[in-house]
Amino acid sequence: MKSLGSIKRISLDERLGLTSFNSDNESHIEVDNERCLLCKTKACLYVCPTKVYYLKDNKIYFNYQACLETGGCIVACHKLGNKGITWKYPKGGFGVIFKYG
């Protein structure tokens, strides 16, 4: 780690290590695999920094508990893909909790 005066710089991995999650039992993400099967780009697999989405046996699976709520997946899916993802913010009190570091 490098220090800039009194400012301590930390890596992305260290910052993500400060992030915690309050997961709901109900997912805020839905995937329509019939649409995804026809998707040529599978853009959701590439835009998520925490790799929430993954491909297995030609189906898109996801781990909603690791979602950083950037919304990049929904933009990529609806602009570059086949609009197979439905995404909303988690219910109040649930989801990602960012901490300063």
Domains of the chain from N-terminus onward: 3-97 (3.30.70.20)
- Report d(CA 41, CA 57) in Å as an integer: 16
pTM of the shown model: 0.76
What are the angstrom distances between the C-alpha of 66 and each of 26, 28, 37, 60, 97? 13, 11, 23, 15, 11
- Max CA pair span of the chain: 54
pLDDT tens-digit series, residues 52-77: 999 999 999 999 988 888 899 999 99
Query: Residue 65 has which token pair?
Result: 């508990």
